[in-house]
């Protein structure tokens, strides 16, 4: 059964994240207890416990709508180098989703690039929220109907940014979309908001900031992360790493993950 036994707040898209100023979230439900997140076998010093973004209710499934993103080419090495330098001054960073500590990875550049940068990332188009089982078919059908047709477009990730989740339990080092692709993603977010609203689900933030997250840390360490990013910008090598944008990705489609199952909402034909 795919009920939310092991569902925690979404890391990749930070769908439940605001900018470096954290947003508050009200709720009548009491905070659930901390649950330990098992670490991968090859990394015995795993991540600390994390808090569920919403309490577990039997029969609920976690919903996440997103654009999948892959980093390819020479930018992978450059981004891995940036992460390595940030991790050298900000302790306690972990790879998003994989939840592997960055520090041991930084001893092997090839492994760092493979584990931290060579995976799939997500641009969230809506909040990660629980839905009931009877809502799944309607949700997927409506998303497909409204997001079926899209023209290809390019997405520029222009800026390193720091985000903090709603309750300040985690901080994220992310790459934000500031220019090319922003208008298209914003339109898609509005469509997803409409579908969420029709299913009585909370909409995305009023002023969304599309991004992918690459690393996270426990608690609100936005100040330390922001200082590290600013130091990198002032360094002599930073201009070589990102003269205009950090990397560019082609929009390839939209996916929806409910529980452990992933649904293709729209997919562009291979050229």
**Which comes out higher in pLDDT, residue 6 or 210?**
210
Which runs of consecutive H residues, i.e. helices, occur in 8-133?
75-89, 102-105, 109-112
Residue with tokens 């180098």: 81
- Contact call for residues 82 and 232 (beta carbons, < 8 A): yes
The DSSP call for residue 195 is H
Half-sphere exposure of 167 (CA within 13 A, CB side): 11
Rounded Cα–Cα distance for residues 40 and 99 (Å): 8
What's the full length of the chain, in residues?
Answer: 271
Q: What is the pLDDT of residue 10?
A: 44
What does pLDDT average to over the chain? 81
Closest CA to 81 of 184, 191, 160: 160
Q: What is the pLDDT of residue 234?
A: 81
Q: What is the pLDDT of residue 238?
A: 56
**Which comes out higher in pLDDT, residue 235 or 111?**
111
Beta bridge partners of 215: 95, 173
For CA atoms 88, 220, 211, 94, the dihedral sign is positive
Q: What is the pLDDT of residue 243?
A: 53
Residue in 56, 64, 70, 122 annotated catalytic: 122
What is the percentage of the chain residues whose pLDDT exceeds 70? 75
Residue in 56, 70, 200, 211 annotated catalytic: 211
What is the percentage of the chain residues whose pLDDT exceeds 90? 65
Q: What is the pTM of this model?
A: 0.79
Residue 247 pLDDT grade (very low, low, confident, very high; cuts 50, 70, 90): very high
Rounded Cα–Cα distance for residues 25 and 187 (Å): 24
- Does residue 122 have an active-site annotation? yes
Q: What is the pLDDT of residue 235?
A: 77
**Which comes out higher in pLDDT, residue 142 or 72?**
142
- Does residue 211 have an active-site annotation? yes
Task: Please state which of the ranges 43-52, 79-88, 170-179, 191-200 shows the lowest mean pLDDT.
Answer: 43-52
């Amino acid at each position: 059964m795919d009920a939310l036994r092991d569902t925690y707040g979404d890391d990749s898209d930070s769908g439940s994240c605001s900018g470096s100023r954290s947003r508050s979230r009200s709720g009548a439900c009491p905070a659930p207890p901390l649950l330990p997140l098992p670490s991968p076998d090859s990394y015995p010093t795993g991540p600390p416990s994390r808090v569920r973004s919403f309490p577990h209710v039997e029969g609920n499934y976690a919903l996440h709508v997103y654009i999948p993103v892959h980093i390819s080419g020479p930018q992978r090495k450059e981004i891995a180098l940036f992460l390595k330098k940030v991790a050298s001054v900000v302790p306690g960073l972990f790879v998003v989703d994989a939840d592997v500590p960055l520090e041991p990875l930084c001893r092997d550049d090839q492994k760092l690039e493979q584990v931290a940068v060579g995976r799939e990332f997500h641009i969230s188009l809506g909040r990660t929220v629980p839905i009931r089982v009877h809502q799944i078919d309607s949700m997927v059908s409506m998303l497909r109907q409204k997001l079926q047709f899209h023209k290809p477009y390019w997405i520029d990730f222009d800026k390193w940014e720091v985000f903090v989740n709603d309750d300040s339990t985690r901080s994220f080092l992310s790459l934000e979309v500031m220019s090319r692709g922003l208008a298209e993603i914003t339109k898609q977010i509005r469509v997803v908001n409409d579908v969420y609203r029709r299913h009585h689900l909370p909409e995305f933030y009023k002023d969304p900031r599309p991004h992918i997250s690459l690393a996270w840390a426990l608690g609100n360490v936005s100040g330390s992360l922001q200082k590290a990013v600013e130091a990198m910008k002032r360094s002599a090598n930073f201009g070589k790493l990102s003269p205009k944008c950090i990397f560019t990705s082609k929009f390839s489609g939209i996916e929806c993950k409910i529980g452990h199952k992933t649904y293709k909402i729209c997919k562009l034909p291979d050229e």
